[in-house]
Structure 1
Amino acid sequence: MVELTVPYESRMEEAHAFKEGKYLDLTKELQKNGYEAKVMPVEIGARGFAGSSAHGLPSKLFICGNKSTKALRLLA
């Protein structure tokens, strides 16, 4: 599950932690029922700054090379 958040740049870490916690119960329930579930909160700041979580997203989705760079620009 990918959750996009658009916080102020000064609240990136806080927004990331909040989103991870928000879906913790759902993730555990899905895993208990035999599904593989992972929450990937991604933060793009209100002024277009891509947080560190956004930089790792393309590779986790198997997007590499120039396509990865283009995907980050589109997100921002």
Structure 2
Amino acid sequence: MEEAHAFKEGKYLGLTKELKKDGYEAKVMPVEIGTREFAGSSAYSLLSKLSICGNKRTKALRLLAETAENSSRWIWSRRNESLVHHD
């Protein structure tokens, strides 16, 4: 997760600089949610910075992790399907 976090920070560095140059305030806050219902410390930190604490933060972390797990399962179940949709 540390490697993914560093990659995401670097990926948006140019955009952040451009926004600041244009007078905006910008901060990159990458969040990693793993499978098996594991939310990284970056998710915990982001919710704290957004003033989501206590039981609400616990519930949000659980929901984030469950959503990541369900999304991963959905992607895996369709791994052999064509990416092109034909109408």
Bin of the TM-score, shorter chain as denominator length: 0.7 to 0.9
Higher helix share: 2
Q: Which amino acid aligns with 2:39?
A: A
Q: How does 1:1-76 map to 2 (within 5 A)?
A: 12-76=1-65
CA RMSD of aligned residues (A): 0.9
Structure 1 residue runs of 5 or longer lacking an equivalent are: 1-11
- Matches of 1:23 and 1:75, distance apart in 2: 22
Structure 1 runs of 4+ aligned residues shifted over 2 Å read none
| Count of equivalent residues | 65
Report the identity percentage.
85
Q: Which amino acid aligns with 2:52?
A: I
Q: CA deviation at 1:60?
A: 1.1
Q: CA deviation at 1:54?
A: 1.1
Which structure has the greater CA radius of gyration?
2
- Matches of 1:32 and 1:54, distance apart in 2: 28
Q: Please say which of residues 34-43 and 59-68 is displaced more in the overlay.
A: 59-68
Normalised by the length of structure 2, the TM-score is 0.70
Normalised by the length of structure 1, the TM-score is 0.79
